[in-house]
Amino acid sequence: MSNRVRMGMVGGGPGAFIGAIHRFAARLDGEIELVCGAFSSSAEKSKSMAEELSLDPARCYASYSDMMAGEAALPQSQRMEFVSIVTPNHMHFPVAKAALQAGFAVLSDKPATLDVKEARALRKIVEKSGKAYGLTHTYLGYPLVGEARGIIEAGGIGEVRKVYVEYIQGWLATPIETKQADWRTDPKRSGGSGCMGDIGTHAHNLAEFMTGKRMTHVAADLTTFVEGRRLDDDGSCLFRMEDGVKGTLSASQICVGKENSLSIRIYGEIGGLEWRQEEPNTLIRTYADRPTEILRAAQGYLSEGAQDGFRTPPGHPEGYLEAFANVYLDFARALRSGGGVVTGIEGGVRGMAFVEALLKSSAKHSKWVEIK
Ligand SMILES: NC(=O)c1ccc[n+]([C@@H]2O[C@H](COP(=O)([O-])OP(=O)(O)OC[C@H]3O[C@@H](n4cnc5c(N)ncnc54)[C@H](O)[C@@H]3O)[C@@H](O)[C@H]2O)c1
């Protein structure tokens, strides 16, 4: 019998964006197998997705609750081990709750929940279940992001002082009507924030991961530029982190022509680091007294951990799918070894508390607000 980790999926039906990416990522290294799914809120669409994926029809379910019950009734050696959640945000909490309570681990897409109240409730459920819970903050899967974190941890840039993180896109610059835009601009399905919940949470997570510091306070200015839209489509904040680190974070979905421009620059007492998601195989390291270094993917001079994250030799570019696959691989191995996950429920709660603080601050004319 295969020793692959058995995965079920909720969401990711016909026409969905991220579900298919998750499925590619999960199977890239051959350690995970998709065994069941409830791919859509429509039973018919779920069935057609299962057919496209050649899944056993008996394990294609009409709803996520049917899936939890159906899988729990199977012998342990056959039933799924974890559920990948790739639905719009409002379904993250109910699906994660049902999965954990039925005895399954959860790997959910971000943001963890609709709001911080739900995130705290989910934390209790995770703790009670004793099951693993992870979030697919994809960008932490890039090996050079891990390399940067390692350099900072080892004191390579000295005490961190300043962080600039920016995540800008242009696809919501006009009132478009796609499946993806529809729920992202609806407070009931997206949460209290549009842009910040959707991509600001990635920027927050990346800044905390790379520096190893928690963000503690924000002074934010959120805007809805497109007329009639119900949630912010742009925002910036000043932030403070532990140990006196200061920074700025900008996220926007109205920057015409921008695709997926996530970038971060971090400066310490003796050096700096710069990384851009659209050029993910380069990490720039700056010094006060030496020329700037350009670190490149898969090179032997990188740390062992970073080298392990690549699948192809130097000069053969890797990208989004491989980063996503690294997140899946880490999670699958954590399940097998009982080890920790990269972004777990604590990171999820912090992400939602960050969004709540932004909303409060922006509503109070950008007053400083503590992230609680
Ligand atoms: N990690 C990343 O980089 C990244 C990138 C894009 C999206 N996301 C996140 O992924 C999630 C999905 O985003 P998307 O753009 O793929 O959305 P989407 O609208 O393209 O797809 C959502 C899918 O969920 C299904 N669904 C909705 N309700 C359901 C239910 N009750 N049961 C089963 N399936 C249901 C829909 O039918 C659809 O197939 C969001 O939470 C989003 O924030 C993360």
Domains in the chain with CATH codes: 5-138 (3.40.50.720), 142-312+349-363 (3.30.360.10)
- Can you list the residues of the chain whose pLDDT is less than 70? 1
For residue 16, the ligand 1 atom closest to its alpha carbon is 20
Ligand 1 centroid, distance to 370 Cα (angstroms): 30
Q: Which residue has the tokens 């000069």?
A: 315
Query: Which tokens go with 100?
Result: 């954990």
Cα-to-centroid distance, 150 and ligand 1 (Å): 32
What does pLDDT average to over the chain? 97
> In testing the pocket of ligand 1, which one of 44, 109, 196, 261 has its CB within 8 Å of the most ligand atoms?
109
pLDDT score recorded for residue 372: 95
Q: Residue 177: what pLDDT?
A: 84
Report the pLDDT value the prediction gives residue 1, as an integer from 0 to 100: 60
d(CA 365, CA 222): 10
Nearest atom within ligand 1 for CA of residue 19? 16
pTM: 0.97
Tell me, using a 6 A CB cutoff, whether residue 17 lines ligand 1. yes
Q: Are strands 215-223 and 234-241 parallel, antiparallel or unpaired?
A: antiparallel
- What confidence score (pLDDT) does residue 339 get? 87
Report the pLDDT value the prediction gives residue 86, as an integer from 0 to 100.
98
Helices (H), 154-220: 179-184, 187-190, 195, 201-211
Q: Is the CB of 198 under 6 A from ligand 1?
A: yes
* Spatial distance between the Cα atoms of 293 and 97, rounded to a whole number of angstroms: 46
Q: How far is the CA of 18 from the centre of ligand 1 (A)?
A: 6
Predicted confidence at residue 248, as pLDDT, reads 99
End-to-end CA distance of the chain: 47
Please answer whether residues 2 and 298 qualify as being in contact, where contact means their C-beta atoms are separated by less than 8 angstroms: no
Q: In this predicted model, what pLDDT tens digit does every residue of 285-297 receive, in sequence order?
A: 999 999 999 999 9
95 lines ligand 1 (CB under 6 A): no
Closest approach atom of ligand 1 to CA 49:
39
Q: Check pocket membership of 65 for ligand 1, CB cut-off 6 A.
A: no
For residue range 128-163, what is the model confidence (pLDDT) as tens digits?
999 999 999 999 999 999 999 999 999 999 999 999
| Ligand 1 mean position, distance from CA 113 (Å) | 13
219 near 213, Cβ under 8 Å?
no
pLDDT score of 43: 95
Ligand 1: centre distance to CA 92 (Å):
9
What sections of the chain are H helices per DSSP?
A: 18-27, 43-52, 64-72, 92-101, 116-129, 143-153, 179-184, 187-190, 195, 201-211, 304-308, 320-337, 345-363
